C-alpha cells in the first residue's frame, strides 16, 4: 500500500520531494510579504494499525500541517499524547476523538484518544499553506494558479 501511495504522489507531481507547482514561488513570496510562514506540501501520514486493520479511516484535511511535521510519507507507530493533540476543543484533538468513536463502533474495542492516531490515514487536499497571523485568509495567489484576469 505504501508503494502505491508513493507512486501516486510521484506520478501526479504532488510529493514533497517532487512537487511541481508553477505557482509555488509566487505563493511563497505573497505569504511572506503578509508575514506568514509558508508551509510547502506535506504527504500522507498513516497509523500503523491502518495498514493491517479494519476499519480503514481516512481523514482529509484542509490544512497541510506545519513545518514541524515530517514532509514525506510517514508511518505513525506510537500513540499520541494529549499534548501532541492540543486543546480538547480544537480540531486535531476532536479528529482523534472522532476516530476513537468510529473504531469502537466498528470493532467494539475501546481505545484512547491518543491511540486513535494509530488507526487512521491523514492527508490534505491543500498542498501548501500561508500560515498568516490570526489565521487570516491566505493571499489570492494560493487560490488562483493562473494569471489574474483584469
- Give pLDDT tens digits for 40-89: 888 888 999 998 878 899 999 877 777 777 788 889 999 999 888 989 99
Burial of residue 4 (number of CB atoms within 10 Å: 0-12, 13-18, 19+):
exposed
**Cis amide prior to 55 (ω within 30 degrees):** yes
pLDDT higher than 50, residue 149: no
Query: Which among 149, 148, 142, 147 is positioned nearest to 25, based on CA atoms?
Result: 142
Domain assignment of residue 148, yes or no: no
Determine, yes or no, domain membership for 150: no
Assess if residue 149 is contained within a domain: no
Q: How far apart are CA 119 and CA 76, in angstroms?
A: 9
Does residue 147 lie within any of the structural domains? Answer: no
Q: Report the length, in residues, of the chain.
A: 150
What are the cell numbers at 120? 487512521
C-alpha cell at 10: 510521484
**Residue 6: domain span:** 2-142
pLDDT tens digits, one per residue of 109-130: 999 999 999 999 998 887 788 8
C-alpha cell at 2: 505504501
Its pTM stands at: 0.76
Q: What percent of the chain has pLDDT over 90?
A: 35
Q: Domain total for the chain?
A: 1
Q: What is the pLDDT of residue 131?
A: 85
Amino acid at each position: 500500500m505504501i508503494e502505491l501511495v508513493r507512486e501516486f504522489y510521484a506520478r501526479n507531481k504532488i510529493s514533497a520531494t517532487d512537487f511541481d507547482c508553477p505557482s509555488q514561488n509566487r505563493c511563497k513570496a505573497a505569504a511572506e510579504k503578509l508575514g506568514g510562514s509558508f508551509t510547502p506540501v506535506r504527504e500522507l501520514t498513516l497509523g500503523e494499525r491502518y495498514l493491517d486493520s479494519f476499519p480503514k479511516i481516512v481523514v482529509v484535511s484542509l490544512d497541510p500541517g506545519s513545518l514541524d511535521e515530517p514532509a514525506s510519507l510517514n508511518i505513525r507507530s506510537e500513540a499520541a499524547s494529549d499534548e501532541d493533540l492540543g486543546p480538547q476543543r480544537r480540531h486535531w484533538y476532536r479528529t482523534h476523538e472522532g476516530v476513537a468513536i468510529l473504531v469502537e463502533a466498528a470493532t467494539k474495542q475501546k481505545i484512547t484518544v491518543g491511540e486513535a492516531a494509530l488507526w487512521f490515514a491523514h492527508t490534505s487536499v491543500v498542498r501548501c499553506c500561508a500560515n498568516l497571523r490570526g489565521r487570516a485568509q491566505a493571499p489570492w495567489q494560493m487560490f488562483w494558479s493562473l494569471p489574474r484576469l483584469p
